[in-house]
Amino acid sequence: MTTADPHLHALYPFLHGASADPAALDEALLESVRQKAAESGHVREVFFAANAGRLVDAARALADMYRRDGHLFCIGNGGSACDAAHVAVEFLHPVTAGRPALRATHLGADSAMLSAVANDVGYTHVFVRQLLALARPGDALIGFSTSGNSQNLLAAFTQARSIGMLTIALSGGDGGALAKSNAVDHCLSVESSSIHRVQETHVLVYHILWDLVHTLLADTRGSAAEP
């Protein structure tokens, strides 16, 4: 790490110049922890103050999709692919007692399909090809992109719209192209330039989304204990 980047120097002053004594280094590390935790909390607070209503709207739409026996498909790249997988697991295997499994598929899980499509026609199409084969009108697509500009997500949302799917995007910054896309019904953007802070907020968003969907379905789904 060099002193060329003043932002990195401000975050990690103990890594620049002469080595500090152990006590000073420990205090600098602790201060870095405090700053990052405080920043993460602030980003979440700002997001929910501005987007609580939008999150409820997205939950209502997703609950309606499940009432119609729809299927949720989840997509993302890199760390956001992990979030997509996490969402699918939450709905398929709810850990809260009394909540039934709801159909969800992480489209990034099939490495053979991803590599085949990426190799043959390009990475932009990896989710499009799967939606063409698997998705039906009335299903839903949720996608994660910290920039809001992932080309394969934009292509997937466009395809989902043509199929007649509900579309939900979680993005960062100003929302990028996803926030401007007519193919996205609900775009929840975390206004931060830090990928880490955006992803941390995304985790809380989809946990709350999952909980709201189950709450909205509680009166219509019957006993969750039934097979």
> Is position 10 within any domain?
no
- The pTM of this model reads 0.87
| Strand pairing category for 140-145 and 104-106 | unpaired
User: Chain-wide mean pLDDT for the chain?
Assistant: 91
Q: Which domain holds residue 110?
A: 18-217
> Is position 1 within any domain?
no
> Is position 225 within any domain?
no
* pLDDT band with cut points at 50, 70 and 90 for residue 25: confident
Q: Shortest CA distance to 153 belongs to which of 112, 183, 133, 173?
A: 183
> Is position 156 within any domain?
yes
> Is position 13 within any domain?
no
Q: CATH number of the domain at 199, please.
A: 3.40.50.10490
What integer pLDDT is reported at residue 38 of this predicted model?
95
Residue 227 has pLDDT above 60, yes or no: no
For 81-139, write each residue's pLDDT tens digit.
Answer: 999 999 999 999 998 878 999 999 999 999 999 999 999 999 999 999 999 999 999 99
* pLDDT band with cut points at 50, 70 and 90 for residue 52: very high
Burial code (b: 16+ CB inside 10 Å, e: under 16) for 127-145 equals bbbbbeeebeeebbbbbbb
Max Cα–Cα distance, the chain, nearest Å: 66
> Is position 224 within any domain?
no
> Is position 135 within any domain?
yes
* Number of domains making up the chain: 1
Rg (CA), the chain: 20
